[in-house]
């Protein structure tokens, strides 16, 4: 986990990983929840970088505790 914080991804790449993660989680939960990704067009997802898996932790927590 510590080494993954040092790795940054362009936001578009992180979103692609998140979509795969949520799709897999939905399968594990027998599609008992629905989801969508609504991204503001002005966000600039090809310009901004974030630490890898930063958002995934929040999504994982939301799915597990929903």
Concatenate the DSSP letters of all residues of 3-66 into one string: HHHT-EEEHHHHHHHHHHHHHHHHHHTTT-S-------TTS-TTT-EEETTHHHHHHHHHHHT-
- The pTM for the full model equals 0.80
Half-sphere exposure of 63 (CA within 13 A, CB side): 22
- Per-residue pLDDT at 6: 65
> Bridge partners of 49?
10
State the pLDDT at residue 52: 87
- Yes or no: say if 52 and 14 are a contact pair by the CB < 8 Å rule: yes
pLDDT tens column, 21-60 = 999 999 999 999 999 999 999 999 999 999 988 899 999 9
């Amino acid at each position: 986990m510590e080494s993954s914080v040092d790795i940054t991804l362009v936001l578009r790449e992180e979103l692609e990983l998140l979509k795969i993660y949520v799709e897999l989680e939905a399968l594990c939960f027998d599609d008992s929840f629905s989801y969508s990704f609504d991204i503001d067009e002005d966000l600039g997802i090809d310009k901004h970088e974030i630490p890898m898996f930063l958002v995934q932790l929040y999504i994982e927590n939301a799915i597990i505790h929903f």
